[in-house]
Amino acid sequence: MIEVKNLTKSYGNVAAVQDVSFSVGKDQVLGFLGPNGAGKTTIMKILTGYHFPTSGTALIDGISVDENPVEIKKRIGYLPENVPLYGDLTIDEYLGFVAEARRIGGSESKKAIDASLEACGLKAWRGRKIETLSKGYRQRTGLAQAILHDPPILILDEPTNGLDPNQIIEIRSLIRELGQRKTVILSTHIMQEVEAICSRVLIINEGKIAAQGTPEEIAGTMKGGDTWELVIKGMGAQDVQFKLPHLGIDISSASSQQLEDGTVGLSFFVASDSGDTPAGERIFDWAVANGLKILGMSRKKLSIEDIFVSLTTDEKNPGEVQHNGQ
Ligand code: ADP
């Protein structure tokens, strides 16, 4: 449905997007995750036909965005980061104006407005002036204008930015609902947002793709794997460190700490592909073989937050993860 190939965009000598390629299938919800200035908005503006690429192509249903932006705009609903709403209009009047701009006329216009008010939970508010709405309801109004022409694709730039926690929950659930029947691309710098809404993630850093796939796929290609934390008894912290190589783990990732009650707190990474026996069993066998008692044991999966921090702060890591889905 969306095919981006070797997309590059420069503003003067600022290389905002560099050689980015990815594709999005029907009814997927793809998250663009990246720090501020990574190039997310630029890619979205190219996809929506508001900016032209410097080189490379973006195709929507096989139509090139720079060759036929009018056709592209029919297929896409766009919620920019700062949606231009007119405060002195009511929601109804504003959507009527958008319908006119989109050349939806007469009874079609009324149907389209009713449907998008319904989808965005705005029916009871339709006569309210936009300037009297809370930020959450303004964002709903922005979404209502984006879906007014019932486009198959929705592009949402930081849709929950500036909302309070309750409004964030509401807008996320609205996007999840829309994502069941539309292809959605949304940008965010909030890690939890992609975990809450997206089926696939594209991590963007300094204009380039640092990783893409499902959160699990990306985690699987990362060095480290899961973090294990143990509380053990039977040996001092120093001696435990010496026994660790027998566990077959990367001991540079291990730390041990003597706790007050004579126990030792131990933490280390275990790579997901490091052996046939599950890590938990290996740890247990290792403790028994060394006369240690395990008093506590927990495993923390690599989160999208860990991945994001690693990919956007460590120059070496991107080489170790999949590039452009290959
Ligand atoms: P993000 O959406 O990830 O925050 P942007 O796409 O807005 O990133 O910006 C990417 C880079 O391009 C940044 O360095 C930004 O300063 C620059 N940039 C964005 N828009 C313009 C513009 N109109 N003119 C010049 N530089 C721009």
Provide DSSP, 201-260. EEEEETTEEEEEE-HHHHHHHSSS-EEEEEEEESS-HHHHHHHGGGGTS-GGG-EEEE-T
Cβ burial 178-196 (10 Å sphere, 16+ → b, else e): bbeebbbbbbbbbbebbeb
Under 8 Å between Cβ of 32 and 45: no
Residues within a 6 A CB radius of ligand 1: 11, 14, 16, 34, 36-42
Across 92-108, average pLDDT: 94
Running DSSP on this structure, what letter comes out for residue 25? -
271, with CB counted inside 10 A (0-12, 13-18, 19+), is middle
- The confidence band for 167, taking pLDDT boundaries of 50, 70 and 90, is confident
Across 86-97, average pLDDT: 96
Distance CA(143)–CA(156), nearest Å, equals: 8
The mean predicted confidence, pLDDT, of the chain is: 87
Across 52-56, average pLDDT: 95
Across 263-281, average pLDDT: 80
Tell me how crowded residue 71 is: count the other CB atoms within 10 A of its CB. 15
The residue to mutate among 11, 81, 209, having the most atoms of ligand 1 within 8 angstroms of its beta carbon, is 11
pLDDT in the model for residue 325? 34
Helix (H, G, I), strand (E, B) or coil at 153: strand
Counts for the chain of helices (H) and strands (E), in that order: 11, 14
Across 293-307, average pLDDT: 83
CA of 43 to the centre of ligand 1 (A): 10
Distance CA(157)–CA(181), nearest Å, equals: 19
Quick check: 178 pLDDT over 50? yes
CA of 276 to the centre of ligand 1 (A): 47
Quick check: 216 pLDDT over 80? no
What residue owns the CA closest to ligand 1's atom 6?
39
Quick check: 320 pLDDT over 70? no
Quick check: 248 pLDDT over 50? yes
pLDDT over 70 percentage in the chain = 92
The residue to mutate among 7, 8, 41, having the most atoms of ligand 1 within 8 angstroms of its beta carbon, is 41
- The confidence band for 315, taking pLDDT boundaries of 50, 70 and 90, is very low
CA of 296 to the centre of ligand 1 (A): 48
Cβ partners under 8 Å of residue 191, min gap 6: 33, 303, 304, 305, 308
- The confidence band for 316, taking pLDDT boundaries of 50, 70 and 90, is very low
CA of 17 to the centre of ligand 1 (A): 9
CA of 53 to the centre of ligand 1 (A): 13
Distance CA(211)–CA(217), nearest Å, equals: 10
Distance CA(262)–CA(234), nearest Å, equals: 8
pLDDT in the model for residue 51? 92
- The confidence band for 96, taking pLDDT boundaries of 50, 70 and 90, is very high
Beta bridge partners of 212: 202
What residue owns the CA closest to ligand 1's atom 7?
41
Q: Degrees (nearest 5) of the Cα angle 156, 302, 291?
A: 170
Higher-confidence position of 325 and 276: 276
Higher-confidence position of 48 and 307: 48
- Starting at the earlier edge strand, list the strands of the sheet with 55-60: 14-24, 2-11, 55-60, 63-64
pLDDT in the model for residue 229? 93
Quick check: 317 pLDDT over 60? no
Higher-confidence position of 145 and 70: 145
